[in-house]
């Protein structure tokens, strides 16, 4: 396995099949079983390429645990209940969540832990951190068993492959990945097509300026529709936290990150994280079309404040040394500050129809 291995595989496929959609490029670069970004490494944390909220502060996972326990009550305290996380990374969020859940012993006893993860490297990390809770791993949401479900996902949707469409005259053309004369990966326009126009959200189709680039994320829409269908048949609630926008708007937002620095999207397939901002409006619509209720998005700062972040911080600070207190306070500030993660990051909930708004979503946007 080598960084060049995946570039060669991508080039070979382009020579055989012609230009790839950006989604196909992302899927190969991130998930190729031998040379993909997630297959090869543990990318998260100070030493990795990016850092996430649970890695910044234990308070994040604890409050998601509070959310789960309160929402479990709203679901009528089902026993057993499936608690599943999509893309658990290093397993830090679930560890903090379960510690908070232990304060509600009936909930803790009722829950059965499922982890949806594709990366073998990260599964090994999760096993190490969470093995004692006997999690069951599944490759996809559709592989979870039937029954009441609580689902959480932090920075999962942004990792799903997106497609890009650019406005060209009256039509839209899909942006594709091709090879240039020097055999380097390069963006090109696919043919302008009325079909491409149909994939662009109708709110943007006619209003976007010439040259505008709109992103859609078929995997996120499929996930929303699947959860929507499930929650209209069986009780459940899902919490998604991610960076993104609402309402739908032109991008592009696709980015590559390597060691906390932005690099070119095509420069380093397999060795840089690729992610795009989440279109929460499109996600919510895909779920609502299947008959579930959606709430939010609510800015992360407001969501965590509604769940009692200040009280939790004060309780931890009271038992901490001055140096620890400073780290705790700085971590929470990063999560809440509008200039850091407080506003760009947002929380959205999908719940079975007829349930009250879940905790943190009582007042809408
Ligand atoms: N939730 C964690 C990790 C975020 S990184 C945190 O907040 O720290 C994205 C995670 O999603 C990784 O665990 C990655 O391996 C996983 N992932 C990405 N695409 C996936 C897919 N299609 N199916 C399952 N897991 C996926």
Residue-wise pLDDT for 231-286, tens only, equals 999 999 999 999 999 999 999 999 999 998 999 999 989 999 999 999 999 999 99
Whose CA is closest to atom 22 on ligand 1?
160
Q: Map out the domains of the chain as residue ranges.
A: 1-355
User: What token pair was written down for 310?
Assistant: 């200040």
Whose CA is closest to atom 10 on ligand 1?
87
Confidence grade of residue 2 (pLDDT, cut at 50, 70, 90): low
- Hey, how many other C-beta atoms are within 10 angstroms of the C-beta on 57? 26
User: What token pair was written down for 35?
Assistant: 């040379």
Average pLDDT of every residue of the chain:
94
CA of 318 to the centre of ligand 1 (A): 34
In CATH terms, the fold of domain 1-355 is Rossmann fold (3.40.50)
CA of 28 to the centre of ligand 1 (A): 15
Provide φ and ψ at 331, rounded to 5°.
-60, -50
Residues 228/284, Cβ–Cβ less than 8 Å: no
Residue 365 confidence (pLDDT) above 60: no
Q: Which pLDDT value is given to residue 77?
A: 98
pLDDT digits (tens, 9 = 90+) for 175-230: 999 999 999 999 999 988 888 888 998 889 989 999 999 999 999 999 999 999 99
CA of 89 to the centre of ligand 1 (A): 5
Confidence grade of residue 3 (pLDDT, cut at 50, 70, 90): low
Burial class (CB in 10 A: 0-12, 13-18, 19+), 98: buried
Provide φ and ψ at 324, rounded to 5°.
-65, -40
* Residues within a 6 A CB radius of ligand 1: 38, 44, 52, 54-55, 87-89, 93, 116-119, 122, 154-156, 159
Q: How far apart are CA 331 and CA 343, in angstroms?
A: 15
CA of 158 to the centre of ligand 1 (A): 9
Q: What is the CA radius of gyration of the chain?
A: 21
CA of 323 to the centre of ligand 1 (A): 32
Q: Which pLDDT value is given to residue 40?
A: 66
Residues 144/116, Cβ–Cβ less than 8 Å: yes
Q: Of all residues in the chain, what percent carry a pLDDT higher than 90?
A: 87
């Amino acid at each position: 396995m080598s960084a060049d291995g995946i570039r060669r595989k991508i080039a070979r496929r382009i020579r055989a099949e012609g230009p790839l959609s950006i989604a196909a490029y992302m899927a190969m670069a991130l998930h190729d079983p031998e040379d993909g970004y997630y297959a090869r490494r543990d990318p998260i944390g100070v030493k990795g390429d990016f850092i996430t909220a649970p890695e910044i502060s234990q308070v994040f996972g604890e409050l998601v645990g509070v959310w789960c326990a309160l929402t479990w009550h709203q679901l009528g305290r089902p026993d057993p209940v499936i608690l599943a996380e999509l893309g658990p990374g290093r397993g830090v969020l679930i560890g903090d969540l379960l510690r908070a859940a232990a304060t509600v012993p009936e909930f803790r006893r009722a829950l059965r832990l499922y982890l949806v993860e594709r990366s073998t490297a990260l599964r090994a990390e999760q096993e190490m951190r969470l093995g004692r809770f006997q999690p069951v791993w599944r490759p996809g949401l559709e592989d979870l068993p039937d029954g009441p479900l609580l689902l959480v996902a932090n920075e999962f949707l942004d990792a799903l492959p997106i497609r890009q469409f650019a406005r060209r005259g009256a039509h839209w053309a899909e942006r594709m990945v091709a090879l240039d004369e020097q055999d380097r990966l390069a963006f090109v326009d696919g043919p302008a097509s009325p079909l491409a126009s149909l994939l662009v959200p109708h709110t943007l189709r006619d209003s976007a300026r010439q040259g505008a680039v709109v992103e859609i994320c078929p995997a996120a829409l499929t996930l929303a529709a699947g959860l929507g269908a499930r929650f209209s048949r069986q009780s459940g609630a899902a919490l998604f936290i991610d960076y993104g926008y609402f309402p739908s708007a032109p991008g592009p937002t696709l980015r590559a990150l390597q060691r906390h620095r932005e690099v070119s999207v095509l420069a380093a397939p397999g060795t840089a994280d690729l992610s795009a901002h989440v279109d929460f409006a499109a996600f919510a619509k895909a779920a609502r079309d299947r008959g579930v209720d959606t709430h939010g998005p609510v800015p992360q700062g407001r969501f965590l404040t509604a769940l009692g972040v200040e009280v939790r911080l004060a309780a931890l600070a009271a038992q901490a040394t001055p140096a620890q207190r400073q780290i705790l306070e700085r971590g929470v500030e990063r999560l809440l500050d509008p200039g850091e993660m407080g506003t760009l990051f947002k929380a959205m909930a999908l719940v079975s129809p007829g349930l009250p708004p879940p905790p943190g979503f009582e007042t809408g946007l």
